[in-house]
Amino acid sequence: MQASEIMTSPVKTIGPDATIEEAIEMLLSLHVSGLPVADADGRLLGVISEGDFLHRAELGTSKRKPRWIEFLLGPGETAESYVMSHGRKVREVMTHDVVTVGSTASVNEVVALLDRRGVKRLPVMTGDQIVGIITRSDLLRALARNLGSKPVSPAETTDQAILDKLLAELQQQGFASPKSLDVTVERGVVTLSGEIFDERQRPALIVAAENIPGVTRVVDKLMWIEPFSGMAINKAEGI
């Protein structure tokens, strides 16, 4: 899946000469937390977001560092903070260093960028033109569309097919060895038995079983081996 498949498009933008009052009105009316700033030709210039309005003189929240720090940093730092807290135009308070993504980027690349750069939105670019935007809400919508969307044939939901898929999943993921488990399937009900050596394996095994198409219920009969005493503790329960 590519960025172009999950992005919101066309994207609402705001011009750099708009007032911050206009920007705030747009954010509130569109129920969004940020807007790309673009010129008349659609070229991306920056992003304006709720975070740019946190430290404002009007709210009494403008930031100022101690005098000795201002002395060490020089007048530029103080001047920049003053513009952020008193600026009246979008171009004066927007974020200029914008993280973007290409329209053909994979969803994996999109999520990696959001995580690594700590941003909430990614303008999607084709050349120097903004063609869309991806937010966490767009990712949630893509997830909702894909949950359970794959059709499953009856042959894929037989007890043997369920067992084969579950054992293959456990082998691939590596958090529990199928050799230490006794897994049975009867009429779509998966029973998990055997030994685990870390309680965190229990929910992982249950989730793995629940995600196999055709599974109607998971019965937990796993035995946790306490690592220090070697005692077996049964916390089995039907789910």
The tokens of 19 are what?
């007032």
| Structural domains in the chain plus CATH codes | 3-146 (3.10.580.10), 154-238 (3.30.1340.30)
pLDDT at 208: 95
- Over residues 77-91, the pLDDT tens digits come to 777 888 888 999 999
Per-residue pLDDT at 213 exceeds 70: yes
Average of pLDDT values for 31-49? 92
Closest-CA residue to 129 (of 223, 19, 39): 39
Only one residue has tokens 């050596």, namely: 197
Residue 228's pLDDT band, with cuts at 50, 70 and 90, is: low
The pLDDT, as a whole number, for residue 239 is 46
